[in-house]
A and B are shown apart, each in its own frame.
Chain A
Amino acid sequence: MAIDIRVRPAELTAVQTVWRSTIGKKAVMAVTGLLMVAFLLAHMLGNLKIFFGPHDFDGYAAWLRTIGEPVLHGAWFLWILRAVLLVALVAHVTCAVQLSRRDRAARPTRYAHGQRARASFATRTMRWGGVALGLFLIWHILDLTVGVANPDFDKNGPYHNVVADFQVWWINLIYVVGVLMVGLHVNHGFWSAAQTLGLRRRRGRDLTLRVVGSALAAAITLGFLAVPIGVMTGLVR
């Protein structure tokens, strides 16, 4: 017997199908989020070079500009990486805003009694935490890439800039809070992305995914926190 397997509306392409559905937009958030987590991991590991002294750290920073030579010109790799991350960030935020607006519209009336929160703190802070992370990111780029927010910026001295930064108590505070928010966001985000992409095939894998996500979040948080703590304790001077 022949069966009707038409999809309505019929004319949509794969990209349109993904972009117009809630699941598709979540998949975009999952993929772009995982991309940014991969970047964070590399960024964090690179930061730890600071414990080997100014020569190693500044040398590492200079090397970043030479990746891909001689095929790529100076700093081209960095600019390509920045472009990719910017596209990922814009896609991630666009989907988050569109989905959040939809979610709020879908539940116009709250329960008078209030609802029990089965969801964890990390889960409940994804939206406002994401906004806070965006603000932290802008400050972070102005501080250590552009330099206008840095107390004593030297274009060719990243080690010097980091040490100058973390002498100031409120810069430490912004940074530590920002990094903790990153950890919270990744803690729920990694697991959530895995669910959205359908990576869990058996119920038993859930614990594995949660453990991997939390371990990743903890490693990223501790790795980034090590730098200001190093400066504050005088290990990095």
Chain B
Amino acid sequence: MKITVRIWRQAGPQEQGALVAYDLDEVSPDMSFLEMLDVLNERLILGGQEPVAFDHDCREGICGACSTVINGRPHGPEQTTTCQLHMRSFSDGDVIDVEPWRSRAFPVIKDLVVDRAALDRIVQAGGYITAPTGTAPDAHATPVPKPAADTAFENATCIGCGACVAACPNGSAMLFTSAKAAHLNALPQGQPERESRVLNMVAAMDAEGFGGCTNTGECVGSCPKGIPFQSIVDLNRDFLRAARRR
């Protein structure tokens, strides 16, 4: 396959960036999108040029490190992570635009790498259960209803990549925050901190400068883990109930 990638190049946080076009001649359809970038970077390095900086870690779709907007969609045309996207999803001769996550709360560090620490600070505000950690408790120590376990697990699959923020026209982090809250709020162990968790996490989310949710649903269409829109509805309900009880 022959393709052209137009990649956002930005030397540093304060520098001006621009899309730069690179032609690649021998792209295998079986390459992952990141392997295609690796091939490009090898060429750039051999040519004495600065390689494209991009985030990646596990390359098996479970860590949430990779973060590129491909042709205007976070993680590209398939609903998966960038590392699990393969070049067979594109055609010979395609021009592919590759940009970083765009949000005021995600400043660009270099090229395609953005600072997603804002998501960590939301989790620090309440995305945990205060409990002594020792050896794992017996599985039957705390009974969990099956539907609650399913809801918790579905939301716990969020890998915190930030695609929801990148997809949202308002740069809102509601899907991320709601997944983290819904995961714990569904479980019996999460009940004592349920209200303070929701109030503190929403306050942290707003303080980071993320936009508000306008229920457009763009986030769920780009989430590689399929976090449902229902989580946002549940967060709204939990927040309003907790606020009433203050």
**A198 close to chain B: CB less than 8 A:** yes
Q: How far is the CA of A84 from the CA of B70 in the complex (A)?
A: 48
- B99 to A106, Cβ gap below 8 A? no
Selecting from B23-31, B52-60, B209-217, the interface stretch reads: B209-217
Could you tell me the distance in whole angstroms from the C-beta of B84 to the nearest C-beta in chain A?
A: 19
Q: Is the CB of A21 within 8 A of B206?
A: yes
* Contact bitstring B197-238, A, C-beta under 8 A = 1, else 0: 001101101100111111111100100000011101111111
Chain A residues contacting B196 (CB-CB under 8 Å) are: 4-7
CA gap between A27 and B235 in the complex, in Å: 12
Question: B104 contacts the other chain (Cβ, under 8 Å)?
Answer: yes
Question: Within the complex, what minimum Cβ distance (angstroms) separates A138 from chain B?
Answer: 25
| Selected interface stretch from A68-76, A111-119, A168-176 | A111-119
Pair B130/A17 contact, Cβ less than 8 Å: no
> Which of chain B's residues 98-124 have a Cβ closer than 8 Å to chain A?
99, 102-105
Q: Mark A119-140, 1 if CB is under 8 A from B, else 0.
A: 1000110100000000000000
Interface presence of A94 (CB below 8 A): no
Q: In the complex, what residue of chain A is closest to B210 when comparing beta carbons?
A: A106
- A198 lies within 8 A of B104 (CB): no
Does A109 belong to the interface (CB within 8 Å)?
Answer: yes
Which chain A residues border B19 with CB–CB below 8 Å? 112
What residues on A are CB-neighbors of B213 within 8 Å?
22-23, 26, 196
Decide if B104 touches A106 in the complex (CB within 8 Å).
yes
CB neighbours of A9 from chain B (8 A): 203
> A22-B212, A103-B211, A107-B211 known; A112 and B97 CB under 8 Å?
yes
Q: Which residues of A contact B200 (CB under 8 A)?
A: 7-8
B141 CB-CB contact with A under 8 Å: no
Q: How far is the CB of B164 from chain A (nearest CB, A)?
A: 13
Binary interface encoding of chain A residues 1-26 relative to chain B, with 1 for a CB under 8 A from any of its CBs, else 0? 10111111100111001101111111
Q: Contact at A115–B169, with CB atoms within 8 Å? A: yes
Instruction: Report the separation of the CA atoms of residues A230 and B97 in the bound assembly, to the nearest whole angstrom.
Output: 53
> How many B residues, CB 8 Å from partner?
60
- Name the distance in Å between B141's Cβ and chain A's nearest Cβ: 14
Q: Which of B6, B230, B232, B240 contacts A203 (CB 8 A)?
A: B230
Roughly how many angstroms separate A124 CA and B217 CA in the complex, as a whole number? 12
Say whether A195 contacts B210, CB under 8 Å.
no
Beyond A7-B196, A198-B238, whether A18 also contacts B131 by CB under 8 A is no
From B215, B229, B238, A196 is in contact (CB under 8 Å) with B215
In the bound complex, how far is the Cα of B215 from the Cα of A200, in angstroms?
13
A105 CB-CB contact with B under 8 Å = yes
In the bound complex, what is the Cα–Cα distance between A105 and B193 (angstroms)?
Answer: 32
- Complex Cα distance, B206 from A21, in Å, reads 7
Is A198 a contact partner of B246 (Cβ separation < 8 A)? Answer: no
What residues of A have a CB within 8 angstroms of the CB of B233 in the complex? 195, 198-200
Q: Is the CB of A203 within 8 A of B203?
A: no
Number of A-B contacts (CB under 8 A): 166
A55 within 8 A of B: no
**Chain A residue total in the interface (Cβ 8 A):** 54
Is B93 at the interface (CB under 8 A from chain A)?
Answer: no
Q: Name the distance in Å between A33's Cβ and chain B's nearest Cβ.
A: 12
Instruction: Provide the residues of chain B in CB contact with A188, threshold 8 Å.
Output: 215
A197 touches which one: B170, B209, B240 (CB < 8 A)?
Answer: B240
- A119 CA to B72 CA, complexed, in Å: 15
**Does B176 count as interface, using CB distance less than 8 angstroms?**
no
Q: Do the beta carbons of A17 and B199 come within 8 Å of each other?
A: yes
**For B171, what are the chain A residues with a Cβ–Cβ distance below 8 Å?**
103, 106-107
B237 and A198 contact, CB distance less than 8 A: yes
Closest 5 CB pairs of A and B: A198-B237, A106-B211, A22-B212, A106-B171, A103-B170
17 A-B pairs besides A21-B206, A106-B210, A196-B213 with CB distance below 8 A are A4-B193, A5-B193, A7-B200, A14-B246, A23-B212, A23-B213, A24-B243, A26-B236, A103-B169, A106-B171, A108-B102, A108-B104, A112-B97, A114-B72, A116-B72, A116-B73, A118-B218
A-B contact pairs, 10 of them (CB 8 A): A7-B200, A20-B206, A22-B202, A23-B239, A26-B213, A103-B172, A107-B169, A112-B19, A113-B72, A118-B221
Chain A residues within CB distance 8 Å of chain B = 1, 3-9, 12-14, 17-18, 20-27, 99, 102-116, 118-119, 123-124, 126, 188, 191-192, 195-200, 202-203, 206
